[in-house]
A and B are shown apart, each in its own frame.
Chain A
Amino acid sequence: ILNVEQSPQSLHVQEGDSTNFTCSFPSSNFYALHWYRWETAKSPEALFVMTLNGDEKKKGRISATLNTKEGYSYLYIKGSQPEDSATYLCASGNSGGYQKVTFGTGTKLQVIP
């Protein structure tokens, strides 16, 4: 089983602050890196899927970067809003034997109004 680690486990930020989290993953046999947003009592929803080293993706106030050589990805949220409160999951897709996606344990974000 591949190790995908996310940090921090949880954080609280004030409304309007910008924040970022880290996802680290094994760089061997790398195929793709996924970010999902998971609100309480709902199902995870995809934010980004990135495959290329140096890739940067943006959706509104949320953006992500990818470094496949060193095995990490950052997720940034600019000007956090209470509706950004959720758990953010990253998942690494690797191709070793068979292609599979391994999830991290998530970063739980609470935005305080």
Chain B
Amino acid sequence: EAQVTQNPRYLITVTGKKLTVTCSQNMNHEYMSWYRQDPGLGLRQIYYSMNVEVTDKGDVPEGYKVSRKEKRNFPLILESPSPNQTSLYFCASSRGWVNTEAFFGQGTRLTVV
């Protein structure tokens, strides 16, 4: 089954404790991205990757890092989480860039206390 898998689904952590949210897709998609969803705001892009070893900042990259060492995986790293990073995070992948549909993971609800 074609899917994007994120882990964990829920996470509560403390300020400053490094964490990684994993994302994996089995569709051989080249394009992957991370979004955050906050109340009253649309999905905002954090980082995106056009292919292995090619990543770039989206609209709200501060406080986040990513890597793309393999085509299927695109982890999101919070080196020193802060409460303003409490949010719902989605990973997405697509065959192409803006003119193909995106497939979303199940979401990760992160709370930083």
Contacts and interface: CB of A to CB of B under 8 A. Distances in A.
Interface residues of A, number: 27
**Which label, helix, strand, loop or mixed, suits the secondary structure of the A interface?**
strand
Interface in B59-92: 59, 90
A91 B104 CA distance: 14
A95 interface: yes
B103 A93 contact: no
Contacts of A21: none
Contacts of B97: 93, 99
B56 interface: yes
A90 to B, nearest CB: 9
A86 to B, nearest CB: 14
A102 B56 contact: no
Interface of A: 1, 4, 31-32, 34, 36, 42-46, 49, 51, 89, 91, 93-95, 98-106
Leading 5 A-B pairs by shortest Cβ distance:
A93-B98, A46-B101, A103-B42, A43-B104, A103-B43
23 contacts: A31-B98, A34-B102, A36-B102, A43-B90, A43-B105, A44-B43, A44-B90, A44-B102, A44-B104, A46-B103, A89-B42, A89-B43, A91-B43, A93-B97, A93-B98, A94-B98, A99-B98, A100-B98, A102-B45, A103-B42, A103-B44, A104-B42, A105-B40
